[in-house]
Homo-oligomer: A and B are copies of this chain.
Amino acid sequence: MGEAGEKASRKPRADSLRNRERLLDAARQVFSAGGPEASLEAVARAAELGIGTLYRHFPTREALFQAVYAREVDELANLARDLAGGPDSGEALKTWLRAALRMIATKKGMAAALRPAVDTCAPFYTDTAARMRQAAEALVRPGALRGELRDDVTGEDIVTVLISLSYGTARPDWQGATGRMLDIFVDGLRRG
């Protein structure tokens, strides 16, 4: 057994890997342009691949979202880890939320992609969801223990607020207003 105890299976086909990438690129393009509701057929067309191929690689729209924005979620998780040590967890939280917001504003469709991550009773527990929750949790917990922040709020709650507020608001001043709302929310989190 050459690899790490894997089932001795055939190497994945080259065209499969290549097409997966093509699909991800196309999806990024299409979602970015046409919003998250863009048709999957459009994605397949943009990738110059059959619709069947798309569905084989990503059985659901969510699976595609997840794959498309995995990188971004990673970044956020890392940022949370870096910020978690700081002295003022309220400020850390604000910083993190702002970063997330900026990212969401850039990558249109990301909010929608994360949305199912908010939905606890979704058919499949998404990895993305867990990552985001843990990141937020890491930011909130210390402050709660120190009595700096309310302790009845979970990482999941934070993520829910973030995603909900980001999702679908189409106003021109969107980013600014939403940032303000998030700050206000964090202020409300502070004890005293």
- Whether the pair A184, B188 counts as a contact (CB closer than 8 A) is yes
Residues of B within 8 A of A152 (CB): 180
User: Which residues 162-192 of A have a CB within 8 angstroms of B?
Assistant: 164-165, 167-172, 177, 180-181, 183-189, 192
Residues of B within 8 A of A150 (CB): 184
**Nearest CB in chain B: distance from A118 CB, A:** 7
**Nearest CB in chain B: distance from A186 CB, A:** 7
- Whether the pair A165, B168 counts as a contact (CB closer than 8 A) is no
Across the two chains, which residue of chain B brings its CB closest to A167? B164
Counting chain B CB atoms within 10 Å of each CB, the highest count among A118, A119, A150, A164 belongs to A164
- Whether the pair A180, B153 counts as a contact (CB closer than 8 A) is yes
Q: How large is the interface on A (under 10, 10 to 19, 20 to 34, 35 or more residues)?
A: 20 to 34
What does the 1/0 interface line of A96-117 toward B look like (CB < 8 Å)? 0000000000000000000100
- Whether the pair B121, A169 counts as a contact (CB closer than 8 A) is no
- Whether the pair A121, B167 counts as a contact (CB closer than 8 A) is no
- Complex Cα gap A141–B188 (Å): 19
A75 beta carbon closer than 8 Å to chain B: no
Residues of B within 8 A of A115 (CB): 168
Majority-rule SS of A interface residues: helix
**Nearest CB in chain B: distance from A106 CB, A:** 20
Residues of B within 8 A of A119 (CB): 168-171
A60 beta carbon closer than 8 Å to chain B: no
A95 beta carbon closer than 8 Å to chain B: no
A78 beta carbon closer than 8 Å to chain B: no
Q: What are 16 A-to-B residue pairs whose CB atoms are below 8 Å?
A: A119-B169, A150-B184, A152-B180, A157-B181, A160-B177, A161-B165, A164-B164, A164-B167, A164-B168, A167-B167, A181-B185, A183-B188, A184-B189, A185-B185, A187-B192, A188-B188
Closest 4 CB pairs of A and B: A188-B188, A187-B188, A184-B188, A164-B164
